[in-house]
Structure 1
Amino acid sequence: MGSPIRTASQLLLAALAALSIVPSQAAQLVRIGAAHFPPYTVRPESGADTGLLPQLVEALNRLQSDYQFVLVPTSIPRRFGDLKQGRIDMAIFENPAWDWEKVPHVAVDMGLEDAEIFVAKNQIDGRPARQQSYFSDLSGKHLALFSGYHYAFAHFNAEPQYLVKNYNATLTYSHDSNLLMVLRGRADVALVTRSYLSDYLLRHEEVAHQFLVSERVDQIYHHYAILRPAAAISGEAFQLLLQGLRDNGEMLKIFAPYRIALVPVPHSHAETALPAAD
């Protein structure tokens, strides 16, 4: 028969060995929906890790180890369905005017603002240069729009048939295509986000002088994150992480180059929960 002390020592060593191969606590998974919305997210279904959202996710994961943020490809029309069904835990860079009132959610004010602006060609066929008044009245103009986007001038109705019938719109899935349509005279006005236009003009300096950019703003995007109520992370915890990225300068580093403004976040708006509609 073995010694009781030896037996106890062997059991203790076995327990310590078992503990050494088991992680203390796995990070909780948070799945963020990635829908094509340049420059925030660019063709996520292709696996390309480009855009501002992948940069934000990397910064969030570097900041802490309690949560592991991952991107799950979705689409603009499908994202709220994916959120309700639990396929994703969060839709991000959302705006209160974009139809999520009936989706059970927790809203987190990200303290980020972008804008939708009008762009035209500044001169056509030797005619006098266009002025800002060109954007005052859209009637009779051929518009180049991004399919699925909600525009203020169209009362946030994103239905393609409505936009084609009422605003003579051509709908695409590419801001580049819409701007090229304007340059080639195939559309009179394109609507693009200020952030995207800033990036486009840096990439295409040779044509920048051909555009007339509106002082008129179609809408201000005040961005929110929309969390599934059963997500592993609470709205309050996510708000604290975003504040951490503000404090260490990462938010400014990611968004300032695209003219996306960091604005104060009222404490009372840090978390807002709404029930599902009947």
Structure 2
Amino acid sequence: MVRLLRKVVSGCTLLVATLAAWPLAAQQVVHVGGAVFPPYVAKAEQSQQAGLLPQLLDALNQLQSDFRFVVRPTSIPRRFRDFEQGRIDLSMFENPAWGWQGIAHSAVDMGLEDAEVYVALAKPGRGQDYFNRLRGKRLALFNGYNYGFADFNAEPQFLTKNFNATLSYSHDSNLLMVLHDRADIALVTRSYVRDFHERHGQYAGQLLVSARLDQRYQHQALLRPGAPISPQQLARLFEQLRGNGQLTAIFAPYQIAVSSGVADSSAATGVTD
């Protein structure tokens, strides 16, 4: 009788442990590429802690328990290979025109809008007409980025030869080059200008930001074929974050526009080959 009771208790304990572990085992991990794109991802080597992407993934993880979104560090040029090889399942804050044309993916509208702007040193008499012509000016650009004025050609040799560009891996360095008159114009996101001013109040009023946009970002999330989450599921999660105000709380302080809603989430997804 004692042996029987022990077996029953042992069996119940095992059943409880199995049931307790089941939701965790069923949770699917979605690897999200973390490539330098401040203020979205501040530094690739610190992508788990820095930038807006980790905040967004925390919100997605708290929203549901079917998927666990985690950052997997990558780089701007390497993210294509990582995506095709399945090392990353999802690349956020993207534009399908940024080198993805030949890579199979599904695109989900994130309902977020940012823009790339031109930034120059503020000088007496200098106005918005300064940005009308780029030729003959020294440009400070981020190595590997796709720029509208260059028809999204990110080849360093093309940019240095045709646009007198200096390429770096730091937006702060590019803006400091402008501030110290070592470059005439830097290109950064509107959200990054806000972030820079927040961190460097001593430069208030010293930068002239263009009304002219190099490109407008209608941010997309790109999913690889066979990703653990479907485009429709991801679109629904974004809509829930939009509805509960979390997208606005994360992105609005950085002057990133949050749309009131995507008219049809299913229509916002598509496959590009």
State whether TM-score is above 0.5.
yes
Letter in 1 for 2:214: D
Query: Is the 2:34–2:47 contact (alpha carbons within 8 Å) kept by the matching residues of 1?
Result: no
Cα separation, 1, equivalents of 2:108 and 2:8: 47
Query: Is the 1:80–1:91 contact (alpha carbons within 8 Å) kept by the matching residues of 2?
Result: no
Q: Equivalent residue for 2:253?
A: 257
Query: Is the 1:107–1:224 contact (alpha carbons within 8 Å) kept by the matching residues of 2?
Result: yes
Q: How does 1:135-150 map to 2 (within 5 A)?
A: 135-150=131-146
- The structure with the larger Rg is 1
The superposition leaves residues 29-65 of structure 1 with CA deviations (integer Å, 9 ceiling, x where unpaired) of: 1100100110000113246501000000111111111
SS of the residue 1:21 aligns to:
helix
Q: Which residue, 251, 270, 273 being the options, matches 1:272?
A: 270
SS of the residue 1:217 aligns to:
strand
SS of the residue 2:71 aligns to:
strand
Query: Is the 2:44–2:75 contact (alpha carbons within 8 Å) kept by the matching residues of 1?
Result: no
Name the % identity: 55
Is 1:42 matched up with 2:39? no
Cα separation, 2, equivalents of 1:161 and 1:92: 27
Higher mean C-alpha displacement, 101-110 vs 52-61: 101-110
Deviation at 1:156, TM superposition (A): 0.4
The superposition leaves residues 235-278 of structure 1 with CA deviations (integer Å, 9 ceiling, x where unpaired) of: 11111111111111110000000000012424153321234xxx
Higher mean C-alpha displacement, 134-143 vs 16-25: 16-25
Report the TM-score when normalising by structure 1: 0.91
Number of matched pairs: 267
Is 1:155 matched up with 2:143? no
SS of the residue 1:54 aligns to:
helix
Cα separation, 2, equivalents of 1:168 and 1:75: 24
Letter in 2 for 1:250: Q
Q: Equivalent residue for 2:241?
A: 245
Q: Equivalent residue for 1:24?
A: 22
For structure 1, which runs of at least 5 residues remain unmatched after alignment? Answer: none
Cα separation, 1, equivalents of 2:96 and 2:216: 11
SS of the residue 2:22 aligns to:
coil
RMSD (Å), alpha carbons? 1.7
Q: Which residue, 191, 212, 230 being the options, matches 1:216?
A: 212
Cα separation, 2, equivalents of 1:96 and 1:266: 20
SS of the residue 2:226 aligns to:
coil
Is 1:97 matched up with 2:94? no
Higher mean C-alpha displacement, 105-114 vs 95-104: 95-104
Letter in 1 for 2:269: E
Q: Equivalent residue for 2:171?
A: 175
Deviation at 1:101, TM superposition (A): 2.0
Deviation at 1:10, TM superposition (A): 5.8
